[in-house]
Amino acid sequence: MSFQLGSALLDACVLAVLTKEDTYGYILTQQVNQIISISESTLYPVLRRLKANDYVLTYDKPYQGRNRRYYKISEKGKQKYKEYVSEWGIFKYNVDKILLGGIIDE
């Protein structure tokens, strides 16, 4: 069974990866894929949205005669990531209450 992902959760996961290091699309997809099944065709619209909201910056770096586009979390993106982490804690707590029948380790 798998759960549907909302765009906010996907954004949060991408920002989480980018808090650790700048990276390019393929590697970013592979890292996010470790926890969520996502294709590159799904990831790039997420990256465009994050960039449009100024949460992510881009820069190009030469690699084997071509430019590779790298993604970097912005200061605004770091703040948004912190909001997501806080909201996730509340969301997880409430879902656990329902799924675990009110039994939650505190």
Domain boundaries, the chain: 7-99
The CATH fold of domain 7-99: Arc Repressor Mutant, subunit A (1.10.10)
78: alpha, beta or left? (left if phi > 0; alpha if psi -120 to 50)? alpha
Please give the biggest Cα pair distance in the chain.
Answer: 58
Q: What is the pTM of this model?
A: 0.84
- Among all chains, which residue has been given the structure tokens 């990531």? 81
* Residuewise pLDDT in 10s, the chain (106 residues): 356 668 888 999 999 999 999 999 999 999 998 888 888 888 999 999 999 999 999 999 999 999 999 999 999 999 999 999 999 999 889 888 898 886 655 5
Residues in a beta bridge with 78: none
**pLDDT at residue 101 in the model:** 80
